[in-house]
């Protein structure tokens, strides 16, 4: 397993997952619910930034590896799934949006793994629609973690849930986009 700064940033994201969860379950005598919300949102936002940064640094410094290509999406999907489950558990967003997003992530991860086994992983590389989905999703999660009904005159719960709906729609759209790209490989495999 190669160790370099991009891989360490990815591992940091994995290590932050239990820290992120514990913040929301600390006794209110230790940390107020508002502070826990903000701290959790900051941890998640930091993890989201490291997601972009580790990929950028790996490409820039030519430190890409098979292990990094495996671990990076796993770390991303784990922290997003945990955040969505927390948000549903705290009744801050609808279970349907979480199920759509988590279901799509599992589907596309399996599709990418299957395509990689055929040597065609680049056929389902991240597209612009996937980047839009990820941006809407990450911003929605941060706003819903903050959970403020009046932040500088804005209701972050409402805005976060609107963005969660946008992320769910983009999630479905991007899933069908990737499935369409892979469709020709499905038919060629079943014809063998």
Q: Quote the DSSP letter at residue 24.
A: T
- Determine the pLDDT at residue 123: 57
Residue pLDDT tens, the chain, 192 long: 667 888 888 899 999 999 999 999 999 899 999 999 999 999 999 998 988 888 788 788 877 777 777 778 888 889 999 999 999 999 999 999 999 999 988 888 787 777 777 766 565 556 678 788 889 999 999 999 998 878 888 899 999 999 999 999 999 988 888 788 777 766 655 555
- Determine the pLDDT at residue 80: 94
Instruction: Give the integer Cα–Cα distance in Å for 82 and 20.
Output: 9
- Determine the pLDDT at residue 62: 79
- Determine the pLDDT at residue 185: 67
* Domain 5-182, CATH homologous superfamily name and number: CDP-alcohol phosphotransferase transmembrane (TM) domain (1.20.120.1760)
Instruction: Give the integer Cα–Cα distance in Å for 29 and 63.
Output: 45
Q: Are 34 and 61 in contact (CB under 8 A)?
A: no
- Determine the pLDDT at residue 183: 76
62: left (phi over 0), alpha (psi -120 to 50) or beta: left
Please identify which residue in the block is written with the tokens 């769910």: 168
Instruction: Give the integer Cα–Cα distance in Å for 65 and 71.
Output: 10
Q: What is the dihedral of CA 97, 99, 102, 103, to 10 degrees?
A: -120
Q: Are 15 and 39 in contact (CB under 8 A)?
A: no
Residues 6+ apart with CB under 8 A from 192: none
Query: SS3 for 177?
Result: helix
List the alpha helices (DSSP H) in 61-94: 66-89
Per-residue buried b or exposed e for 130-166, using 16+ beta carbons within 10 Å of the residue's own CB: beebbebbbbbbbbbbbbbeeeeeeebbebbbebbbb
Instruction: Give the integer Cα–Cα distance in Å for 184 and 49.
Output: 35
65: left (phi over 0), alpha (psi -120 to 50) or beta: beta
């Amino acid at each position: 397993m190669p160790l370099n700064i991009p891989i360490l940033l990815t591992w940091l994201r994995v290590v932050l997952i239990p820290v992120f969860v514990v913040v929301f379950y600390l006794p209110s005598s230790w940390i107020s619910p508002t502070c826990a919300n903000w701290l959790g949102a900051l941890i998640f936002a930091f993890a989201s930034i490291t997601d972009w940064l580790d990929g950028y640094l790996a490409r820039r410094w030519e430190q890409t590896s098979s292990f990094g290509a495996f671990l990076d999406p796993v770390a991303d999907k784990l922290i997003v799934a945990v955040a969505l489950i927390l948000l549903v558990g705290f009744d801050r967003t609808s279970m349907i949006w979480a199920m759509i997003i988590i279901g799509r992530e599992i589907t596309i991860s399996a599709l990418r793994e299957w395509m990689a086994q055929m040597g065609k992983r680049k056929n389902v590389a991240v597209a612009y629609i996937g980047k839009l989905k990820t941006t809407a999703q990450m911003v929605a999660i941060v706003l819903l973690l903050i959970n403020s009904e009046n932040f500088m005159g804005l209701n972050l719960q409402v805005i976060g849930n609107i963005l969660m709906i946008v992320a769910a729609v983009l999630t479905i759209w991007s899933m069908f986009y990737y499935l369409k790209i892979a469709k020709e490989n499905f038919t060629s495999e079943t014809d063998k």
